[in-house]
């Protein structure tokens, strides 16, 4: 098994050397939003390796360490001696100052949160940035240490009430540094500052667009695949769909896509995937209705981890059977995204839930991986999907767990309970869409609980199921807050669920955030 990473410089680009800040990924995202390609590299990456790929600028990220502590990460001093501009952010600024003979001190007063920064020079880094009402510009600070004396040759170009050196510059050497975080949304003009650095100071052409990416990626996939055959597992989600569409653009008939319907999909989902891909791919698209096979395995199973493991394993079996029928396949397409690439290799978090997706496949199959999205963020993948002509329903699809509705049914799986879960999920989706909130709310669904409760219909006592509605807002899936949906909307959902779905006698709204809860119930 091998992994394909695009190491070819796709255009003018900026390297971010990552010292472990919470916000490092955001630096790359903000720079890419200015249409300049940007990659995050661990601070253990040798400078020579980075320079061999000819970046036009280097950013030193923030990080949790203090520069004087014994284990503080350092970087090759030669980074300051090149003709390539360097921007230090927070820890990156302190490291630059210390390395070049300045002085770093612990702040008497720790600065955290929104801070007004006075701009002392508007020449290059702060050019085009506007004076905000109230003076200066609002910036997000999160630091203990700060630069007390700049290194020789540096000018002070911004200050705050608490720290006299909020930004510094050595114009001659192309060295810049800011104490605040331009990459976070709480620094409203931060993107403009990063653009000034990448485009004006480093001279990057803003040519990183998804249409340019398609041309480059197609050429790269063709070169790699040659005349070999490729297989893709389609889940119906945006990542696997976009990856398959891109590979198809590159190698056409050499790609076969397999969609396995495990029977726990949302209403209309299999039909939509089948319609989209059979039109695009004709005979090279196979849809397998394995719902009976999965139900035989899952019938009566209640334990969440057992459900996940059984579905994951059965998925592999079905997929292997199909691959065997197809004969000689060399590559397997996988929709791995850039955040997964960045995160792999960092300390592993404990397993909260066994995630099932097509990621489980290659370990068991002797195939090389083709991961054409491994340099892209989710918003770029969506844009790419639109450019490749995928329908908006697929491109904007909200996250959905690999085991599907099986983990939205508490207690035993039966065909009747799957039907109920599908119906209640469809009502929640429909109402959110009708309220025009489908792009605003990050994820929304319904859970069929295993609690029953007493109700009354006409003069009759009922004893039906309780359904929980879940709607959350999140930046990523690591944390989430329950969405403050309008009462009228909740009211409509509840009455439709109780009127239209047989056997449901109660609807509740889940107001747990993550952590300590998770987004899905199982
Ligand atoms: P939790 O429930 O862990 O979910 O807070 C975080 C996000 O991941 C989705 N999810 C999954 N995605 N396979 C997936 O591809 C899975 O097995 C799986 N389980 C949960 C969930 O919908 C949420 O967006």
Structure tokens at 244: 């398959």
pLDDT at position 459: 85
Give the residue numbers marked as catalytic. 90, 181, 183
Q: What is the pLDDT of residues 408-427, one digit of tens each?
A: 999 999 999 999 999 999 99
Cα dihedral 97, 98, 103, 108, rounded to 10, equals 90
CA separation for the pair 471, 227 (Å, rounded): 46
Angle (CA) 50 376 41, round 5°:
25
pLDDT at position 356: 52
Residue nearest to atom 3 of ligand 1 (CA): 518
HEC string of 263-316 equals CCCCCCHHHHHHHHHHHHHHHHEEEEECHHHHHHHHECCCCHHHHHHHHHHHHH
DSSP characters over 197-249: IIIIIS-------HHHHHHHHHHHHHHHHTT--EEEEE-SSHHHHHHHHHHHH
* Region of residue 519 (phi > 0: left; psi between -120 and 50: alpha; otherwise: beta): alpha
CA-based nearest residue to 12, from 54, 58, 59: 54
For residue 518 and ligand 1, the question of a CB distance below 6 A is answered with yes
Measured from the Cα of 352, ligand 1's closest atom is 3
Structure tokens at 334: 């996988």
For residue 304 and ligand 1, the question of a CB distance below 6 A is answered with no
For residue 477 and ligand 1, the question of a CB distance below 6 A is answered with yes
CA separation for the pair 160, 166 (Å, rounded): 6
Residue listed under structure tokens 């005349």: 227
- Answer whether 194's CB lies under 8 Å from 105's CB: no
CA-based nearest residue to 332, from 318, 345, 319: 319
For residue 355 and ligand 1, the question of a CB distance below 6 A is answered with yes
Domains of the chain: 10-201 (3.40.50.880), 210-395 (3.40.50.620), 414-509 (3.30.300.10)
pLDDT at position 157: 98
Q: Is 509 helix (H, G, I), strand (E, B) or coil?
A: strand
For residue 402 and ligand 1, the question of a CB distance below 6 A is answered with yes
Structure tokens at 295: 């139900």
Query: How distant, in Å, are the alpha carbons of 103, 155, 156, 172, 500 from that of 152?
Result: 11, 9, 11, 12, 74
173 contacts: CB under 8 Å, gap ≥ 6: 80, 153
Residue nearest to atom 19 of ligand 1 (CA): 401
How far is C-alpha 374 from the chain's CA centre?
A: 11
Measured from the Cα of 520, ligand 1's closest atom is 2
- Answer whether 47's CB lies under 8 Å from 79's CB: yes
Residue ranges for the chain with pLDDT beneath 50: 1-7, 345-349, 358-360
pLDDT at position 338: 86
Query: How distant, in Å, are the alpha carbons of 1, 168, 212 from that of 139?
Result: 46, 15, 33
Q: DSSP class of residue 426?
A: H
Q: How much is the pTM?
A: 0.82
For residue 435 and ligand 1, the question of a CB distance below 6 A is answered with no
Neighbour tally for 54: CB within 10 Å = 11
415 contacts: CB under 8 Å, gap ≥ 6: 295
Q: How many residues does the chain have?
A: 522
Is the four-CA dihedral 91, 92, 94, 99 of positive or negative sign? positive
- Answer whether 38's CB lies under 8 Å from 9's CB: no
pLDDT at position 367: 81
pLDDT at position 344: 63
Measured from the Cα of 517, ligand 1's closest atom is 5
Q: Is 182 helix (H, G, I), strand (E, B) or coil?
A: coil
Q: Is 132 helix (H, G, I), strand (E, B) or coil?
A: coil
| Distance between Cα 520 and ligand 1 center (Å) | 7
Q: What is the pLDDT of residues 122-146, one digit of tens each?
A: 999 999 999 999 899 999 998 889 9
HEC string of 40-74 equals EEECCCCHHHHHHCCCCEEEECCCCCCCCCCCCCC
pLDDT at position 253: 95
238 contacts: CB under 8 Å, gap ≥ 6: 378, 381, 382, 385, 394, 395, 396, 397
For residue 515, cis peptide bond before it (omega within 30 degrees of 0): yes
pLDDT at position 327: 83
Neighbour tally for 305: CB within 10 Å = 12
């Amino acid at each position: 098994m091998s992994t394909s990473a695009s190491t070819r410089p796709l255009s003018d680009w900026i390297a971010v050397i990552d010292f472990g800040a919470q916000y490092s990924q955001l630096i790359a995202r903000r720079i890419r939003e200015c249409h300049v390609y940007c990659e995050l590299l661990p601070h253990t990456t040798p400078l020579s390796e980075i320079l061999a790929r000819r970046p036009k600028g280097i950013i030193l990220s923030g990080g949790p360490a203090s520069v004087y502590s014994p284990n503080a990460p350092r970087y090759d001093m030669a980074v300051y001696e090149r003709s390539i501009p360097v921007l230090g952010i927070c820890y990156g600024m302190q490291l630059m100052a210390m390395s070049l003979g300045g002085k770093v001190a612990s702040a008497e007063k720790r600065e955290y949160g929104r801070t007004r920064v006075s701009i002392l020079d508007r020449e290059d880094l702060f050019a085009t940035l506007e004076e905000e009402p109230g003076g200066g510009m609002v910036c997000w600070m999160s630091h203990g240490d700060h630069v007390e004396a700049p290194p020789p040759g540096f000018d002070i170009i911004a200050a705050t009430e608490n720290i006299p050196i909020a930004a510094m510059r050595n114009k001659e050497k192309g060295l810049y540094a800011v104490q605040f975080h331009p990459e976070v949304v709480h620094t409203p003009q931060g993107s403009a500052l990063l653009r000034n650095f990448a485009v004006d100071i480093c001279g990057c052409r803003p040519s990183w667009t998804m249409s340019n990416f398609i041309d480059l990626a197609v050429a790269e996939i063709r070169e790699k695949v040659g005349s070999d055959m490729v297989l893709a597992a389609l889940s119906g989600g945006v990542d696997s769909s976009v990856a398959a569409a891109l590979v198809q653009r590159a190698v056409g008939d050499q790609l076969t896509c397999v969609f396995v319907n495990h029977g726990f999909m949302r209403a209309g989902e299999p039909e939509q995937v089948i319609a989209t891909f059979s039109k695009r791919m004709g005979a090279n698209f196979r849809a397998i209705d394995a719902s009976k096979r999965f139900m035989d395995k899952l019938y009566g199973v209640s334990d969440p981890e057992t459900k996940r493991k059984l579905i994951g394993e059965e998925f592999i079996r079905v997929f292997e059977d199909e691959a065997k029928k197809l004969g000689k396949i060399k590559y397997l397409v996988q929709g791995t995204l850039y955040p997964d690439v960045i995160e792999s290799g960092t300390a592993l978090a404990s397993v909260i839930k066994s995630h099932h997706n097509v990621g489980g496949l290659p370990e068991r199959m002797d195939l090389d991986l083709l991961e054409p999205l491994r340099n892209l963020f989710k918003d770029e993948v969506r844009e790419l999907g639109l450019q490749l002509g995928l329908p908006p329903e697929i491109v904007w699809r909200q996250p959905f767990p690999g085991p599907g509705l099986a983990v939205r049914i508490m207690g035993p799986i039966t065909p009747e309970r799957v039907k109920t879960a599908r119906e209640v999920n469809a009502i929640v989706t429909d109402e959110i869409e009708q309220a025009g909130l489908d792009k605003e709310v990050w994820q929304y669904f319904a859970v069929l609980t295993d609690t029953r409760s007493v109700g009354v219909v006409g003069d009759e006592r009922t004893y039906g199921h309780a359904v929980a509605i879940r709607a959350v807002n999140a930046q990523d899936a690591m944390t989430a807050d329950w969405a403050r949906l309008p009462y009228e909307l909740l009211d409509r959902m509840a009455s439709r669920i109780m009127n239209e779905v047989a056997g449901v006698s109660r609807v509740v709204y889940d107001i747990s955030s993550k952590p300590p809860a998770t987004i899905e119930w199982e």
